[in-house]
Amino acid sequence: MAALAGLEQGMRQPGQGGRLMLGMIPTVAPYLLPEALPILRARDIGRDLHLREAPTDRLIDELTVGRLDAAVAASVPENPDLVATPLFTDRFLLAGSQDQIDRIGAVHLGPRDLDPGRLLLLDEGHCLGDQALEVCGLTRRGGRLDLGAASLSTLCRLAAQGMGLTFLPQLAARQERAAAPGLAVVPFPEPQPSRKILLIRRASTPAVGWFDDLADILAKAGQAVVDC
């Protein structure tokens, strides 16, 4: 409760008009917000919270120039004027139709054992697609199946129909499996690939106060989702 009280007071400080301008990448926002927002709204915080969903590069640009007070992303910013606080670890799962999962014996395969021609990945500009390529040791110029998907939900529906395989963050697994009947997921063997979800602020923004309180709430909400 102390963290919530501090957050409620601190939200009147950052941003214009006392609002907290928070950005989130599209592969986090739909899955983290349903868990986090009720906690914020429980003390009437939601009316002061304004959310912006956009790719990482755009969020970083808007945070740098002051249009955002903080941003949730999965890539460490290279800008020395920005500081990232880790929130939680989000494992990658392999997702596809049950037939494809069974056919390739996916439970025994590591990311680098996958056929690049069967991988469905997000368009350029989405860090999740780039991270999936990195753990597979591939580049955008590889011979993979590229359907130009702009959302994780689209990839999951294609994968459920047997169009290929995709990387599904644990954070999104519950929602996407419910929305895409026939989607099967399996964990990779150890060491499991993963991404770090971060809360980013300007270095000139003090960590003590609203930022630390917000990070604590988002960290606990995210951990609750990935532990389901």
pLDDT, tens only, 13-58: 554 446 789 999 999 999 999 999 888 777 555 557 889 999 999 9
Q: Whose CA is closest to 93, among 20, 1, 155?
A: 155
Cα–Cα distances (Å) from 124 to 7, 111, 127, in that order, read 35, 20, 8
For residue 50, the tally of other CB atoms under 10 A from its CB is: 16
Residues with Cβ within 8 Å of residue 33, at least 6 apart in sequence: 24, 51
Question: Does the structure show a pLDDT above 50 at 176?
Answer: yes
Mean pLDDT, residues 169-184: 94
Angstrom distance (rounded) from CA 128 to CA 72: 13
Question: Does the structure show a pLDDT above 50 at 10?
Answer: no
**pLDDT value, residue 208:** 75
**pLDDT value, residue 126:** 60
Note whether 176 and 27 are within 8 A (CB).
Answer: no
More confident residue, 119 or 60: 60
**pLDDT value, residue 44:** 56
Note whether 75 and 199 are within 8 A (CB).
Answer: no
Beta strands in the chain (DSSP E): 20-24, 49-53, 70-73, 82-97, 166-169, 183-187, 194-202
Question: What amino acid occupies position 132?
Answer: A
pLDDT, tens only, 77-124: 889 999 999 999 999 999 999 998 888 876 677 888 888 778 888 775
Global pTM value? 0.84
Two structure tokens written together for 223: 């951990």
* Structural domains of the chain ordered from first start: 2-88+195-226 (3.40.190.10), 92-187 (3.40.190.10)
Q: Is it true that the peptide bond before 191 is cis, omega within 30 degrees of 0?
A: yes
More confident residue, 150 or 76: 76
